[in-house]
Amino acid sequence: MFITRAQWPHTVQDIVKSLDGVWGVVGATAPNGNLYRLERSLTPPTSYKLTEYKGEDEAAIVSQKDFSGDEREDAIKQFARHIGFSV
């Protein structure tokens, strides 16, 4: 089975680049050890989904939050905060 991992950001700008990229996804492990993934819809209308997984088990979803296209900045800020950036 082939597993594709999200890009791991080093800066907030990396988050933005990944969301604007072809796949529209970025992920990282937070200081609490849980994996977070922020995804952009690939078809209109644009929306964003922030998902937290237990540890790195992508089958164990802890929480999910959906954002509209107008809430893009809020989605990016929440993701960045979860993974340890000061935004």
Structure token pair of residue 80:
């960045």
Instruction: Using alpha carbons, list the distances in angstroms from residue 6 to 45, 70, 83.
Output: 22, 23, 14
DSSP state for residue 6 in the 8-state scheme = P
Q: pLDDT by residue (tens digit) across 19-73?
A: 988 889 999 999 999 999 999 999 999 999 999 999 989 999 999 999 999 999 9
Token representation of residue 38: 């922020």
The Cα–Cα gap between 47 and 55 comes to 25
Mean pLDDT, residues 3-8: 53
Residue 8: pLDDT band by 50, 70, 90 thresholds? low
What's residue 39's pLDDT?
Answer: 96
**To 5 degrees, how large is the angle CA 30–CA 76–CA 19?**
100
* Measured distance CA(11)–CA(66) in Å, rounded: 23
Q: Work out the pLDDT band at 14, boundaries 50, 70, 90.
A: confident
